[in-house]
Amino acid sequence: MKANTFGNIFTITTFGESHGVAMGVVIDGCPAGVAFDQELLLEDLRRRRPGLHGKEDAIVSGRNEEDLPEVLSGVFEGKTIGTPIAIIVRNKDQRSEDYDKIKKNPRIGHADDVWIEKYGHVDYRGGGRSSGRETIARVMGGAVAKMVLKELAPDLIVKGFATQIGPIKLGQDEINCESEGWVPNEEKRKEIEELLISAKKEGESYGGIVEICVGNAPKSLGQPVFHKLKADLAHAIMGIGACISFELGDGMGSATAEGTQFHNTLRADQYGGIRGGISTGEKIVMRASFKPTATVMHEAKKGRHDPCIIPRAIPVIESMIYMVLLDHIMMAKNDRVDK
């Protein structure tokens, strides 16, 4: 069953195994006439790379991926032409010999065993298509969505922040759309980076929480009843590798609230900027948690594991959100006959 296409009007179809020839995306439904910003694309790929957004190689996976994108179609003389935009990134530095023993020993905590059970015949090298490397295609799709949104919703801001990594947490009021840095608290950022450097050495790993702030989102996005904005955002984010929870606004915390208080204040924080499944025009606030990465001693010894997925997950989450928002802007064009 086809399952590698995401979106309704603006869509991506992705492909590629970690140790195959290339990862890639076909973006279909992109309007013609959009300026293609190669720099933006490269920058987004760079943020997804190992090493804390490309800056600090001490942390995260030691795999050296250049991730140079090649645009195969859909762009002409610097602008989109309304046809599918295919972009690929070749896989280098594959060292697949590292993975040969996986064939007979599926790695604990990874998806190796469930894929073998499901498909019978799989590419076991480096997780194949279940590898985090699959997200390159999402980031490329998100980059193109961002290019379109620069024209359709120029003030839109989508920003993800780590608010917890293992035992280290930020306070609830430390984050807003103006915050900067992947951990928007200098002191805690340092603590976290130290924690991760030491985890990398010791073969330990941590999960964490990402909080996402969407500012200046257009109102009236969301299509009842099965494409509510909150449902499509949850689907997009829960579909990312290690993600195992999603909260809008107060999320789990709303369970304890009393209705008279909750609704009278009407803070967008509580609702998360979405009511009736439709964006209100207020700030959209979401949180997602990620499992600790599956630590494999074999990899850890070679210094090639990610002690925490969060730094690399942030640009992926942002990409998914850009795509959902653009798709909904395009869907909303047919909401009313008089517009």
Q: Which of residues 104-143 bind a copy of itself (CB under 8 A)?
A: 108-111, 113-115, 117-123, 128-130, 134
Q: Which residues of 138-171 are buried (b: 16+ CB within 10 A; e: fewer)?
A: bbbbbbbbbbbbeeebeebebbbbbbbbbebebe
Residue 335 in contact with a copy of itself, rule: CB under 8 A: yes
**300: Cβ contacts below 8 Å, ≥ 6 apart:** 200, 202, 203
Q: Tell me which of 58, 68, 72, 157 binds a copy of itself, using CB under 8 A.
A: 72
Q: Are 193 and 56 in contact (CB under 8 A)?
A: yes
Question: Least Å distance between CB 157 and a copy of itself?
Answer: 20
Q: Are 26 and 86 in contact (CB under 8 A)?
A: yes
Residues 172-201 within binding reach of a copy of itself (CB under 8 A): none
Residue 14 in contact with a copy of itself, rule: CB under 8 A: yes
Question: Least Å distance between CB 72 and a copy of itself?
Answer: 4
d(CA 239, CA 181) in angstroms, rounded, equals 25
Question: Least Å distance between CB 213 and a copy of itself?
Answer: 16
DSSP readout, 173-184? Answer: GG--TT--SSSS
Q: Which is nearer to a copy of itself, 33 or 178 (CB)?
A: 33
Residues 218-277 within binding reach of a copy of itself (CB under 8 A): 219-220, 222-228, 230-236, 238-239, 243-260, 262-264, 266, 270-272, 275-277
Question: Least Å distance between CB 58 and a copy of itself?
Answer: 18
Question: Least Å distance between CB 57 and a copy of itself?
Answer: 21
Residue 151 in contact with a copy of itself, rule: CB under 8 A: yes
Residue 8 in contact with a copy of itself, rule: CB under 8 A: yes
Sign of CA dihedral 99, 104, 107, 112: positive
Question: Least Å distance between CB 92 and a copy of itself?
Answer: 14
Q: Which is nearer to a copy of itself, 73 or 178 (CB)?
A: 73
**Residue 181 phi, psi (nearest 5):** 85, 155
Q: Which is nearer to a copy of itself, 59 or 111 (CB)?
A: 111
Q: Tell me which of 160, 208, 311, 315 binds a copy of itself, using CB under 8 A.
A: 208
Smallest Cα–Cα separation from 138: which of 21, 71, 41, 257? 41
Place of tokens 């789990």: 252
**Whole-Å CA distances, 41 to 63, 145, 147, 171, 290:** 21, 10, 9, 33, 25
- Please name the helix (run of DSSP H) or strand (run of DSSP E) that holds residue 244, with its range, or none: strand 243-248
Question: Least Å distance between CB 313 and a copy of itself?
Answer: 12
Q: Could you tell me how many residues make up the chain?
A: 339
Residue 333 in contact with a copy of itself, rule: CB under 8 A: yes
Q: Which is nearer to a copy of itself, 186 or 226 (CB)?
A: 226
Q: Tell me which of 34, 156, 213, 323 binds a copy of itself, using CB under 8 A.
A: 34
x/- track of binding to a copy of itself for residues 76-105 (CB under 8 A): xx-xxxxxxxx-x-----------------
Q: Are 81 and 75 in contact (CB under 8 A)?
A: yes
Q: Are 12 and 138 in contact (CB under 8 A)?
A: yes
- Please name the helix (run of DSSP H) or strand (run of DSSP E) that holds residue 186, with its range, or none: helix 186-202
Residues 276-315 within binding reach of a copy of itself (CB under 8 A): 276-280, 287, 289-295, 307
Residue 330 in contact with a copy of itself, rule: CB under 8 A: yes
Binding residue count for a copy of itself, defined by CB under 8 A? 143
